[in-house]
Structure 1
Amino acid sequence: MIIIQNATYIHPNKDILFQEINLTIADQEKIALIGNNGSGKSTLLKVIAGQLQLNNGTVSCDSIPYYIPQLLDEYKDLTIAAALGIEEKLRAFKEILLGNMTEHNLDLLNDDWSIEDRCQNALSEWKLTDISLDYKIGELSGGQKTKVFLAGITIQEPQIILMDEPSNHLDHESRELLYQFIKDCRKTLLVVSHDRTLLNLIPEIAEMTKQGIVKYGGNYEFFAEQKEQAMNALDHDVKSKEKELRKAREKEKEALERQNKLNARGKKKQEKAGIPKILMGGLKNKAEGSSGKLKTVHEEKISGIRMSLQDLRTNLPEIDQMKFGFEESSLHIGKILVEAKDVNLKINGRNLWHQNLNFKIKSGDRIALKGTNGSGKTSLINLIIGNRQPTSGEISRANFNYVYVDQDYSLIKTEMKVYDMAQSFNHSGLQEHEIKIRLNRFLFSKDTWDKSCLVLSGGERMRLLLCCLNIQSQAPDMIILDEPTNNIDIQNIQILTAAIQSYHGCLIVVSHDQYFMNEINIQETIQLG
């Protein structure tokens, strides 16, 4: 069981990340924790794991949690055994087998005589039979690193498991293993993820916002339906309040016009009646006082409505939809951009692909490049865009322009500032204020314009790139996306999805996120062995 009470975490710079957070997770309960980047999900997992301390509140667990972090660079100099916390135990086990049955070795082993077999079985379960426990973590691929820590669950046999974005960097086969593990898991499980296929396997969603954590009694699709209903109701309330505000302003205008007419009519009567000037002045002041009181009453009412409307609007999501918004490609739909006949590449004297590749890529196509890690997807992309030539076969390319978006969004220059990066795509001579309007539209407010691109998160880099393409105006003939949903949250995935849906050129995508692929209407597949 995990019990979090009144938890508050404040960054060293005194910024409050979250406060007064409460959450209870029962034994063998499975919960997915979602929320926008920066809401504190990963930090909360580190607090539960004992790696960070709260500024206020408490976290209690009835057993030691097993934690799989999102970022594994801190372990790069450790062996697999050391990273999994079993190095000393394994050493003691081997010493005992050699006859060194000392009290120290027996204490370290703690009667765990199956440790070596359990390690081998765990690595085998996650298809890691070609690596040994004395490998350095830094020698492994991103997917292998994650699978090592997933294998650690079988080795450590914990009752509480914490996972932070476990499907990142996993290929299709490995994701299927992870999904099966989550289905079969009978432990207490808390997962932070933006993988919506994974989220649909977990029976309860908890959303973390600035207001706290709210549990939803269902999987991600249930949560999305509930949120949509809530947003529709909120949108209705906002529109009703906006209508109320317009009516209040109209009534104020009508009442003031009516009062001014009455004042003018009264003044004429007084002048005809020959009332002395001193009395006229008093009557004028009285009329002005009546108008002032009337105006004050209406202003107070309007102010109250406006404040209510502002409160409602603060609960609306920051984004509705952001689209590329550029002119269409000049190429007609169906024009052949790339044609490959019996193409292959030699790597270290051997063909990269078991079978030669034959394909056509046309303007308007939506194509998935599929294959396991190491199957040559990046090499094929380089062939398509002309950065490499085949060692056998023929490839022909039409004259087309493209944008290649890799996993790190490296089109965003880390040495530049946000505004300068946006300006570098301004090929159509937009004015400065127009650039700033578009930055605001993509959630880059004034206080971020001088921010270094180096410190932007994955989601922020993605949004800035979309903004830059929007500023560029002319659509590329081809967009290539390499694992675009890795390291960005659900909100930013939705932004990216909406943008891609509005694009009508050729789209080539490498992704293991099947939910995302379905949403962007992928129609064809190039499968690599």
Structure 2
Amino acid sequence: MSALSPSLVLDRVRLVWPDGTVALDEVSGALGRGRTGLVGRNGAGKSTLLRVAAGHLTPTSGTVSASGDVVMLPQRPAADPHRPVSALLGVETALTALRAIESGDVAPHHFDAVGDDWDVEARAHTLLAEAGLASDALDRTVGELSGGETMLTALVGLRARAADITLLDEPTNDLDRDARARVSELVESWPVTLIVVSHDVGLLERMDATAELYGRTLSVVGGPYSAWRAQRDAEQEAAVRAERDAAQSLRRERRQRIESYDKLATRSRVAHKAQVEKRVPKIIAGGRANAAQVSAGRLSTEMTGKEDAARAALSEASARVRDDDVVRIDLPDPGNAAGRRILSLGDGEREWIVTGRERVALVGRNGIGKTTLLESLVGEVDTAGPIRARASVEHIGYLPQRLDGLDDAASVLDTVCAAAPRVPVALVRDRLARFLVRGDAVGRPVGSLSGGERFRVALARLLLADPPPQLLVLDEPTNNLDLDTVDQLVAALQAYRGAVLVVSHDDAFLARLGLDLRLRVDDGRLSENAP
């Protein structure tokens, strides 16, 4: 598909930020028609690539070619909170003109604004229904919508616009299950070319193709994320085998060269001894010596050539093995006894007790109060609602959904050291390296970090705290993580010997945690909820 009908072509696109940081390093590739999921590690440049493709950023060098007009919806749609919802739908101008005409204003510019779109209001109501909003939302302001409602409204507006190429950046971040399902339905019936950056496996499984931004290459595999993952894993297994075989061949050539040299050396010593002892005529001994030198030279050339060829084959095989740098999270042991009371959750009618090392998830629609409950638990807000959470331990680690609590002016190193004041700075540096924060990066101010880097620093501050937390409280922890880092986080939480309370709409993530309890928050009540 992609090779035959490319919609977006990048040719050696390079983008360098004003401070000299390379954001895109001569990226080349082509994305085809239909729906394409764009994946890659945090910091690979996926969002930057979309902004370049949409014309929001001008590349330092290289070219971007698109087969039509391009529109983009960023992670958080930028809209004036005081503007009407019709602006998100893209019908504000036509709707305002239509209502002016209906009220008796027959100025020509109103008719020009409406054009042939006389059913704009009815069409806007249909779009609102697709976004899950009532028709009266058309007269509300953007600021009156939740984050999920804003994203869905902007999304249906873009879908109605039907631009030749639409770019979406993490459209399901912060959305509850119902909103995610609506996004998936919209994406599945998208009428033209759609390119989606996402870490949402469920959404990626609805794609016609999957592209990966890795280094300088934008490679495409036909099929959803699972097809791409299977091909990548198979290619890497084959590459690792080829590297191992090439290394064995190189060792074998080295061994054979050494053995051959040893044989020639032995022959030379025997010939020399025979000449010294005069067991053969001098002319014959000299001839043998000359022949040995010629043989040695020929053998040396031959063996060196074979070894060089084996070394080149190893280098080529190694180049095909991905050197993926992954976060390696090793959580400290807080020493929770299995039956120790850690946390209580209740709604006035029922109470649930969390003990020892249990894993508990809170689920429910956006705006129902899950984050407020977590904030009350860690002492950031007071709540008078019926649902209460009380901790029975002193050391609680909290990772909020928004990372606004970080001091933008502080360095990465100072930020983490503040949470572990008794840990030597050298050890903090070593531990930060496991979160892919190394060298001069530890001295950078937090405010200069990308979203993924900022999240890793917040996670490091939480998980490297001294003393270690007895309870981890996590609010949508997978929102900003690439899929490989999610794997690392899951493994770390599975091995963690403390209790975990997590709010998440990511069902795939929750399924892997091995939950002991799953509670649904709904209108001031808690209830046990099956996966």
Normalized against structure 2, the TM-score is what?
A: 0.80
1:77, CA displacement in angstroms?
6.5
1:110/1:411 CA distance change after superposition, 3 Å: closer
1:224/1:504 CA distance change after superposition, 3 Å: farther
Query: Is it true that 1:367 corresponds to 2:360 in the alignment?
Result: yes
Q: 1:446-479 CA deviation, whole Å, 9 max, x = no partner?
A: 2423322222223223434555566558653221
Structure-2 residue corresponding to 1:202: 207
1:268, CA displacement in angstroms?
6.7
Structure-2 residue corresponding to 1:91: 96
- The answer to whether the 8 A contact 1:339-1:396 is kept is yes
1:263, CA displacement in angstroms?
6.5
Give the alignment partner of residue 243 of structure 1, picking from 236, 240, 248: 248
In structure 1, list runs of 5 or more residues that go unmatched: 274-282, 344-355
Structure-2 residue corresponding to 1:184: 189
Structure-2 residue corresponding to 1:10: 14
- The answer to whether the 8 A contact 1:324-1:503 is kept is no
- The answer to whether the 8 A contact 1:418-1:449 is kept is yes
Question: Which letter maps to 2:393?
Answer: N
Tell which deviates more after alignment, 383-392 or 241-250.
383-392
Structure-1 residue corresponding to 2:66: 60
Tell which deviates more after alignment, 65-74 or 92-101.
65-74
1:299, CA displacement in angstroms?
6.7
In the aligned structure 2, how far is the partner of 1:359 from the partner of 1:165? 35
In the aligned structure 2, how far is the partner of 1:16 from the partner of 1:476? 36
1:371/1:316 CA distance change after superposition, 3 Å: same
In the aligned structure 1, how far is the partner of 2:445 from the partner of 2:365? 35
Question: Which letter maps to 1:482?
Answer: D
1:445, CA displacement in angstroms?
3.7
Give the alignment partner of residue 41 of structure 1, picking from 33, 38, 46: 46
Tell which deviates more after alignment, 509-518 or 240-249.
240-249
1:298, CA displacement in angstroms?
6.2
Structure-2 residue corresponding to 1:417: 411
Structure-2 residue corresponding to 1:514: 507
1:88/1:504 CA distance change after superposition, 3 Å: same
Give the 3-state SS of the residue equivalent to 2:7 in structure 1: strand
- The answer to whether the 8 A contact 1:4-1:58 is kept is yes
In the aligned structure 1, how far is the partner of 2:474 from the partner of 2:387? 26
Question: Which letter maps to 1:521?
Answer: G
Give the 3-state SS of the residue equivalent to 2:111 in structure 1: helix
1:131/1:238 CA distance change after superposition, 3 Å: farther
In the aligned structure 2, how far is the partner of 1:124 from the partner of 1:496? 37
- The answer to whether the 8 A contact 2:361-2:519 is kept is yes
Tell which deviates more after alignment, 298-307 or 180-189.
298-307
Give the 3-state SS of the residue equivalent to 2:443 in structure 1: coil
CA RMSD in angstroms comes to: 4.0
Query: Is it true that 1:455 corresponds to 2:462 in the alignment?
Result: no
Structure-2 residue corresponding to 1:398: 392
Q: 1:112-166 CA deviation, whole Å, 9 max, x = no partner?
A: 0111122233223323338745655456432232122023136535564332211
In the aligned structure 2, how far is the partner of 1:171 from the partner of 1:419? 34
Query: Is it true that 1:232 corresponds to 2:237 in the alignment?
Result: yes
Structure-1 residue corresponding to 2:369: 376
- The answer to whether the 8 A contact 1:31-1:203 is kept is yes
In the aligned structure 2, how far is the partner of 1:20 from the partner of 1:116? 43
In the aligned structure 2, how far is the partner of 1:31 from the partner of 1:115? 31
Question: Which letter maps to 2:369?
Answer: G
Aligned 1:410-449 pairs, distance under 5 A = 413-424=407-418, 429=423, 432=426, 435-449=428-442
- The answer to whether the 8 A contact 1:89-1:109 is kept is yes
In the aligned structure 2, how far is the partner of 1:307 from the partner of 1:90? 67
Tell which deviates more after alignment, 505-514 or 408-417.
408-417
In the aligned structure 2, how far is the partner of 1:46 from the partner of 1:230? 30
Give the 3-state SS of the residue equivalent to 1:10 in structure 2: strand
1:80, CA displacement in angstroms?
3.6
Aligned 1:118-133 pairs, distance under 5 A = 118-129=123-134, 132-133=137-138
In the aligned structure 1, how far is the partner of 2:434 from the partner of 2:307? 28
Q: 1:40-92 CA deviation, whole Å, 9 max, x = no partner?
A: 43344334444445543352334x44432223346557544445443322222
Structure-1 residue corresponding to 2:285: none
- The answer to whether the 8 A contact 1:194-1:489 is kept is yes
1:510, CA displacement in angstroms?
1.0
- The answer to whether the 8 A contact 1:338-1:384 is kept is no
In the aligned structure 2, how far is the partner of 1:220 from the partner of 1:86? 35
Tell which deviates more after alignment, 41-50 or 131-140.
131-140
In the aligned structure 2, how far is the partner of 1:360 from the partner of 1:329? 19
Structure-1 residue corresponding to 2:28: 21
In the aligned structure 2, how far is the partner of 1:237 from the partner of 1:68? 42
1:110, CA displacement in angstroms?
1.3
Structure-1 residue corresponding to 2:495: 502
1:293/1:71 CA distance change after superposition, 3 Å: farther
1:250/1:467 CA distance change after superposition, 3 Å: farther
Give the alignment partner of residue 479 of structure 2, picking from 483, 486, 490: 486
Aligned 1:282-361 pairs, distance under 5 A = 305-306=310-311, 308-319=313-324, 322-343=327-348, 358-361=351-354
In the aligned structure 1, how far is the partner of 2:249 from the partner of 2:376? 60
1:237/1:358 CA distance change after superposition, 3 Å: same
In the aligned structure 2, how far is the partner of 1:56 from the partner of 1:42? 18
